[in-house]
Amino acid sequence: MKAEYINPFLKSTIETFATMLKKKIVPGKVYLRLEPHNTDISGVIGLSGDIRGAVVMAYPKETALKVVSAFIGEAVTEFDASVSDAIGELANIIIGYAKKDLTGISISISLPSVIRGANHLVDMPKNAPVVCIPFSGECGDFVIEVSIIEKDK
C-alpha cells in the first residue's frame, strides 16, 4: 500500500484531535496488523471508487470515554449508544478530512458503522494489507487501521 494513502489519515487524525478535541496525540510506529487489537469500540468507514477498502478507528473503552468527553465537551461515564454515536461521527469527520488529501483519485466514503464488544476484529478486504497507525495521548491509546486496494486499471 502506498504511503500517500496512509499519510492523509495520520494527518487528519492529529489535526482533528488538536482542533476539535483540544488534545495532542502522538503517532507511533506504523505496522501491519497480524492479530486483533484489545479494543472495545470501533468506528468503521468504507471506501469506494478508484480505491476500495475501509478505515477503522479502534479504541479501548477508557480511551473512548475520554475521547468522547473531549469531543462533546462534557464528562461521559456510561459506555452507551451516545458514545457509539460520537465515535461514529468522529470517524466520519476524520476520514472525510483525509479524503481531501487523497488527491488525483476519485473516492467515496460510506456512512460510519460502529462496532462495540471486547476484542472484536473488523474484517477487511481480502488480499489487502491492514496498516495500523497507533496513537497515544492524554485520552489514552488507540489505533487506526487502513486497508486499501487500488481499482484495477
% of the chain exceeding 90 in pLDDT = 76
**What are the C-alpha distances in Å from 11 to residues 2, 19, 38, 58, 113?**
15, 12, 24, 17, 22
**How is residue 34 annotated by DSSP?**
-
Q: Could you tell me the CATH number of the domain that includes residue 112?
A: 3.40.1550.10
Q: How far apart are CA 31 and CA 109, in angstroms?
A: 24
Containing structural domain, residue 23: 3-150
Most confident of 2-11, 24-33, 123-132: 24-33
**Residue 1: pLDDT band by 50, 70, 90 thresholds?**
low
Q: HSE-up of 146 (CA within 13 Å, CB side)?
A: 23
Considering only 20-34, 35-49, 88-102, which range has the smallest mean pLDDT? 35-49
The arithmetic mean of pLDDT across residues 99-126, rounded, is: 89
Whole-number mean pLDDT of the chain? 92
Q: What is the model's pTM?
A: 0.92
pLDDT digits (tens, 9 = 90+) for 60-97: 999 999 999 999 999 999 999 999 999 999 999 999 99
Helices (H), ranges, the chain: 3-20, 61-72, 81-99
2 pLDDT exceeds 80?
no
**What are the C-alpha distances in Å from 148 to residues 50, 59, 75, 132?**
10, 21, 35, 12
- When divided into structural domains, the chain yields a total of 1
